[in-house]
Chains A and B, each alone.
Chain A
Amino acid sequence: MLLLALDTATPAVTVALHDGTDVIASSSQVDARRHGELLLPAVDRVLAEAGVRLDAVTDIVVGIGPGPYTGLRVGLMTADTFGIALGVPVHGVCTLDGLAYAADIEKGPFVVATDARRKEVYWARYADSRTRLTDPAVDRPADIADQVAGLPAVGAGALLYPDAFPSAHEPEHVSAAALAGLAAEKLAAGEELPAPRPLYLRRPDAQVPKNYKVVTPK
């Protein structure tokens, strides 16, 4: 088994190669505006570091969010396309689950929250690092204060809103290494992973921008 994992659902552009037991190589860069530019060079670097070619990979693992849409789609589109080009399966993993796994908390409950922008967080509650208790949701921190009160929390969304998450701590962003580790465990246990489809959680802003479609340079 050779897993290539990637996630672009948070400000981190993160890639890892995992042989089913251990992480062989990985890369994480935090730059919320350059997912599209950074992802492919990162894949190339990770493969070169491990000394393997992409066609040696047996499975693709991708973070399906929730996360800001534009960045999220970069990872999903890349994973989808690797899948058809290589003829290998593409597995989805909830990005919050990856963060929970990276937090390495054996006894919860605890909360994972990432930044959803617009003063909201994507979040879910966990019993331990491998067991999610609630569906991922998007809310204003103040509106969920009673549901997360007194619980430890991880993720940039928790660190950003200390009023709602007073005991927030690292990790801030998901890592593909964690994503791959979680996927490898689940696949070895014969568990089915979700399809690689995005968790947007919000409907698109149905706003036709003024001067829509105007792409001719003035």
Chain B
Amino acid sequence: MADSRDEPLVLGIETSCDETGVGIVRGTTLLADAIASSVDEHARFGGVVPEVASRAHLEAMVPTIDRALKEAGVSARDLDGIAVTAGPGLAGALLVGVSAAKAYAYALGKPLYGVNHLASHICVDQLEHGALPEPTMALLVSGGHSSLLLSSDITSDVRPMGATIDDAAGEAFDKIARVLNLGFPGGPVIDRYAREGDPAAIAFPRGLTGPRDPAYDFSFSGLKTAVARWIEAKRAAGEEVPVRDVAASFQEAVVDVLTRKAVRACKDEGVDHLMIGGGVAANSRLRALAQERCEAAGIRLRVPRPKLCTDNGAMVAALGAEMVARGRPASSWDLSADSSLPVTDTHVPGQDHDHVHEVSKENLYS
């Protein structure tokens, strides 16, 4: 076995939404996963306020880098590279992380790797279960994403199979929690109430599951509206809303569609591994149902522990380490934060000429 010290030591920075994450990995070994979150500051608005998130990233960055280095017990001088989420995400928030990563890499004389947030969500599983099988089918579900992705090499080839055509799955959780007056974020609290409810109590619709619907795309907007209407009708009739049953039935509708489509994609593509990532992967019912259906279909399920599923710096470091290990080109010092970086761009390699990311301009400084 190779000495693990030969494996790349990489620090990763993540600021695409409301978590300031700094992680350090050596190859596929997690050394540190430091997080500062501004989630409490957003709670009263019922969603992430971009400017609040950006301000919090600026304040949290240096202490979080310090914490990660201490936790890992390594010196910044020994790093082999600095990785950072270049996109997709909130433009202003991304820019704080990209600025920090550039300055850190430049000052330390290390290569910089601007990487894709979604590919990082997949790659993080290497820290839990070892090298990713190739190919891997990945179901990413969070407040920001609901995608089904197929990757044969996480540093260079991620193919979108399907995605939500309206809301992300996590958004639906937040919205329903708000309608039920359960607070923000909605995921954990719905999960908790659902455990004591009957998932078959109310038959909520399963979006895009008709015979002529796209096989791998998702839609949660109709479900969201149906659940909200059902609750409002109860209230209008002066009846008590059975919160536990509503939570369980709503959650079942979401995870039923997610797992059904993910398993189908694996079968259709002949892929025998499914990984699930993103904040909603922490949902206990999603994990249980995915396990059940994967077992029945002969598919190996890989779900990282909840802390690695939500946004964090370790996932960025994990992908950065893989970039170093596979000799992918580093990014240049004019790396942009790209709020709509396509999922197929696993990283943003440097260009010889001075190039501009036209896409990010509008969002960045409006």
Contacts and interface: CB of A to CB of B under 8 A. Distances in A.
Interface of A: 32-34, 36-41, 43-44, 54-55, 68-71, 73-74, 76-86, 198, 200, 204-209, 211-218
Interface string B85-100: 0011111100110111
B274 interface: no
Contact of B92 (A40, A43, A69, A85): A69
Contacts of B50: 209, 212
18 contacts: A34-B361, A40-B106, A55-B107, A70-B92, A70-B95, A70-B365, A73-B54, A73-B95, A73-B96, A73-B99, A76-B58, A84-B65, A213-B142, A213-B144, A215-B87, A215-B339, A215-B340, A218-B163
Closest 10 CB pairs of A and B: A85-B107, A208-B47, A204-B51, A81-B103, A77-B99, A215-B88, A213-B144, A40-B333, A216-B145, A78-B103
Nearest to B342: A217
A77 B96 contact: yes
A68 B170 contact: no
B68 to A, nearest CB: 12
A36 B337 contact: yes
Given A216-B145, A216-B146, A36 B364 contact: yes
A70 B103 contact: no
B297 interface: no
* Interface size class, chain B: 35 or more
Interface of B: 16-17, 42, 45-52, 54-55, 58, 61-62, 65-66, 76, 87-92, 95-96, 98-100, 102-104, 106-108, 117-118, 142-147, 160, 163-165, 167-168, 170-171, 333-337, 339-340, 342-343, 356-357, 361, 364-365
A185 to B, nearest CB: 26
B52 A85 contact: no
B356 to A, nearest CB: 7
Given A36-B336, A84-B62, 13 more contacts: A36-B95, A54-B107, A73-B54, A80-B58, A205-B49, A205-B51, A206-B45, A212-B47, A212-B171, A215-B16, A215-B87, A215-B90, A216-B88
Contacts, number: 161
B49 A217 contact: no
A39 B333 CA distance: 9
A217 B103 contact: no
Contacts of B51: 69, 204-205
Contacts of A76: 58
Nearest to B15: A77
A84 B328 CA distance: 28
A216 B62 contact: no
A214 B62 contact: no
